């Protein structure tokens, strides 16, 4: 009888422990990379196609709680302009990044930099984002990022989400003329995030 009294509570404890062991871990909370609520939140630098003889001109400004990327794209002898900022962050457990944007209706690209290099060149990991005149939330899964070097596709290891180093925004849509992109925030999102 005494053995039975000891055995029943022990079995209950074991079954509770087993249930706890199999409960799914909560998903990591989304991380805000840039909220643009302070002008000095990050140093955003412009890289124009002048580095390869082009004539495009991009400008960046962080005011009124948003980033503004404006300028003129010239496709002859180049055809791109971009803005970039450093952000060291671990996005383990996240599925991609989310941006709230509005713009001039042109297609832009977002770049996530993990510092991966091959043959002495940095691999660019980018995906397109469309804009409209209205604020729109755009999600870019990490799996959608294309790996390129100077615009040419390369085979590369998947993005290292544990060592994100920065974010970039590009325009290289092959159309001459002015452009405007406004960004309210950039943050990560997890699997199953509504």
Nearest to 181 by CA among 192, 170, 194: 170
Higher per-residue pLDDT: 27 or 121? 121
33 membership: H or E segment, kind and range: strand 32-34
pLDDT at 9 over 80: no
**What integer best gives the mean pLDDT of the chain?**
87
In this prediction, residue 140 has a pLDDT band, given cuts at 50, 70 and 90, of very high
pLDDT at 128 over 50: yes
Instruction: Give per-residue pLDDT as tens, 11-60.
Output: 444 444 544 555 666 667 899 999 998 766 779 999 999 988 899 999 99
Instruction: Give per-residue pLDDT as tens, 92-109.
Output: 999 999 999 999 999 999
Which pTM was predicted?
Answer: 0.83
pLDDT at 7: 47
Q: Which domains does the chain carry?
A: 28-190 (2.60.120.430)
pLDDT at 54: 93
Q: Are 167 and 145 in contact (CB under 8 A)?
A: no
pLDDT at 150: 79
In this prediction, residue 152 has a pLDDT band, given cuts at 50, 70 and 90, of confident
pLDDT at 79: 94
């Amino acid at each position: 009888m005494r053995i039975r009294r000891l055995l029943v509570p022990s079995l209950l404890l074991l079954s509770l422990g087993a249930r706890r062991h199999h409960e799914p871990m909560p998903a990591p909370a989304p991380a805000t990379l840039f909220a643009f609520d302070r002008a000095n939140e990050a140093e955003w630098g412009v890289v124009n196609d002048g580095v390869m003889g082009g004539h495009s001109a991009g400008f960046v400004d962080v005011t009124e709680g948003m980033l503004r990327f404006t300028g003129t794209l010239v496709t002859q002898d180049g055809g791109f302009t971009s803005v970039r900022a450093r952000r060291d962050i671990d996005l383990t457990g996240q599925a991609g990044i989310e941006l709230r944007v509005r713009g001039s209706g042109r297609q832009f690209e977002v770049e996530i930099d993990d510092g991966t290099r091959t043959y002495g060149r940095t691999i660019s990991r980018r995906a397109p984002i469309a804009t409209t005149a209205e604020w729109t939330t755009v999600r870019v899964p990490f799996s959608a990022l294309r790996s390129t070097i100077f615009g040419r596709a390369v085979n590369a290891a998947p993005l290292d989400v544990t060592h994100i180093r920065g974010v970039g925004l590009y325009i290289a849509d092959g159309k001459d003329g002015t452009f405007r992109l406004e960004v309210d925030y950039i943050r990560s999102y997890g699997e199953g995030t509504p």
